[in-house]
């Protein structure tokens, strides 16, 4: 009997096999293929090629990935000593040098999603604290990295559910909701970010009517959001990206929930290309536009959206990837940014796990940071 897609772990760790386990999302919805990633190149490719995607899921994959690679570094160093007949204790600095190389390599796979660098920096911080500041052995450091990677995944599940609770407070039973791209369970550990209010509402009988944009260029709304919502029994209707104005003008949408890959300090938010169009349309028709953002995606070191690096994707994703035969003429120029930036003035609120931020966002996001730091203390 085939499992429902919602029964699979989006990202998992097989510690016995020293591998990161993911759903290959490039094959969905037609084929559910679980793959294992062992090497730095395999992990890098999986992130770059969107086999694993969604800011939180990328962060979890990166955390598991650098832990798996750390195990390999430790074994490699130990083997080198054994081959030389040395009985020395493994050097942390030697281990750390190779750790940093692998960390920087993984970090180069996706420039826009801040969770990638956030997770890798967090793993590096515990590595340095344990090995350099506390003088723990390399074996102990690797185990601490193991526990931290698991904590990152567990925290992501809590974050998503909490965002869902805050988001649910912004809508009422029977509402129409529009979402863009995929910020669902397939983009996180569980619940998703933008879909978390939808899933919690589904559990509580809210009977939402959801519109999912297909979302060019990778069709993640059609292939993933529509798929997982439908699999969960949610009343979902797939629409093309250029139909959002019609459904809003018809009064069928009461709120827009989207995820994001990076939020600037002023509240500008980068998300899958086309999000800013949805925000502008929502503004025109008086529909609240909510960005669901784990605090790990808020980049306080990026002043505005103009400072966010936007990833450019291959032209083939537009011209031929989804067609039996090439759709566009040979030699045509293609502009294919993966993301756009929604100006903060188009955003009604930013929903985080530590509360809801509203304009002026620079001040409200700073308050969110203070709440988070107070809880940590």
pLDDT single digits (tens) 210-245: 999 999 988 999 999 999 999 999 999 999 999 999
35 φ, ψ (degrees, to nearest 5): -125, 155
DSSP 206-261: ---EEEEE--TTTTHIIIIIHHHHHHTT-EEEEE-GGGHHHHHHTT--SEEEE--S
In this model, does residue 82 exceed pLDDT 80?
A: no
182-192 confidence digits (pLDDT tens): 999 999 999 99
Residue 158 has pLDDT above 80, yes or no: yes
3-state secondary structure of 327: coil
> What order of strands is seen across the sheet that includes strand 34-37?
11-14, 19-23, 34-37
Q: How far apart are CA 59 and CA 118, in angstroms?
A: 7
Task: Note the pLDDT of residue 86.
Answer: 66
Residue 89 has pLDDT above 50, yes or no: yes
Q: How far is CA 263 from the centre of its chain?
A: 13
Active site positions, annotated:
261
Cα separation of 175 and 234, whole Å? 13
Contact 322, 314 (CB under 8 A): no
What the block records as the tokens of 272 is 């899958």
CB atoms within 10 A of CB 288: 16
- CATH fold label, 5-159: 1.20.120
Q: In this structure, how many other beta carbons lie within 10 angstroms of the beta carbon of residue 265?
A: 18
Cα separation, 371 vs 366, whole angstroms: 9
Classified as helix, coil or strand, 49 is coil
> Domain coordinates of the chain in residue numbers?
5-159, 163-376
Q: Give the pLDDT mean for 109-133.
A: 93
CA angle, residues 4, 338, 283, in degrees to nearest 5: 90
- The model's pLDDT over 24-66, given as tens digits with 9 standing for 90+, comes to 999 999 999 999 999 999 999 999 999 999 989 999 999 999 9
Average pLDDT over residues 77-97: 84
Task: Identify the pLDDT of residue 1.
Answer: 46
pLDDT at 210 (0 to 100):
98
Q: Which two tokens stand for residue 345?
A: 């003035």
Instruction: Kindly state the percentage of the chain with pLDDT values over 90.
Output: 92
Determine the pLDDT at residue 80. 83
Alpha-carbon separation of residue 208 from 146, 213, 229, 256, 282 (angstroms): 39, 16, 11, 12, 18
Query: Model confidence over 285-314: pLDDT tens digits?
Result: 999 999 999 999 999 999 999 999 999 999
For the structural domain made of 163-376, what CATH number should be given?
Answer: 3.40.50.10470
Question: Which residues neighbour 29 within 8 Å (Cβ) at sequence distance 6 or greater?
Answer: 5, 223, 224, 227
């Amino acid at each position: 009997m085939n499992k429902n897609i919602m029964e699979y772990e989006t990202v998992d760790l097989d510690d016995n096999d020293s591998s990161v386990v993911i759903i290959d999302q490039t094959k969905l919805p037609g084929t559910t293929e679980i793959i294992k990633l062992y090497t730095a190149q395999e992990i890098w490719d999986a992130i770059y090629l969107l086999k694993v995607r969604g800011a939180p899921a990328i962060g979890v994959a990166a955390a598991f990935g650098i832990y798996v690679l750390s195990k390999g570094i430790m074994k490699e160093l130990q083997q080198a000593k054994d081959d030389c007949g040395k009985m020395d204790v493994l050097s942390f600095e030697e281990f750390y040098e190779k750790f940093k190389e692998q960390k920087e390599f993984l970090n180069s796979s996706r420039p826009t999603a801040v969770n990638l660098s956030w997770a890798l920096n967090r793993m590096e911080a515990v590595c340095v604290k344990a090995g350099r500041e506390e003088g723990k052995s390399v074996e102990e450091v690797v185990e601490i990295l193991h526990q931290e990677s698991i904590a990152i995944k567990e925290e992501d599940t809590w974050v998503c559910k909490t965002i869902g609770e805050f988001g649910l407070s912004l809508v009422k039973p029977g509402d129409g909701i529009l979402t863009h791209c995929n910020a669902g369970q397939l983009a996180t550990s569980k619940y998703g970010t933008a879909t978390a209010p939808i899933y919690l509402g589904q559990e509580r009988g809210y009977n939402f009517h959801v519109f999912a944009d297909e979302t060019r260029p990778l069709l993640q709304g059609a292939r993933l959001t529509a798929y997982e919502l439908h699999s969960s029994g949610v009343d979902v209707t797939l629409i093309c990206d250029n139909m959002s104005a019609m459904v809003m003008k018809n009064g069928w949408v009461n709120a827009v929930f989207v995820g994001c890959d990076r939020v600037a300090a002023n509240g500008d938010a980068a998300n899958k290309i086309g999000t800013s169009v949805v925000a502008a349309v929502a503004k025109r028709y008086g529909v609240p536009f909510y960005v669901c953002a784990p605090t790990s995606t808020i980049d306080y070191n990026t002043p505005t959206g103009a400072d966010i690096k936007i990833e450019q994707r291959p032209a083939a994703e537009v011209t031929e990837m989804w067609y039996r035969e090439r759709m566009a003429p040979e030699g045509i120029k293609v502009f294919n940014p993966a993301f756009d930036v929604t100006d903060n003035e188009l955003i009604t609120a930013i929903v985080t796990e530590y509360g809801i931020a509203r304009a002026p966002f620079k001040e409200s996001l700073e308050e969110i940071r203070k709440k988070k730091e107070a809880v940590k203390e």
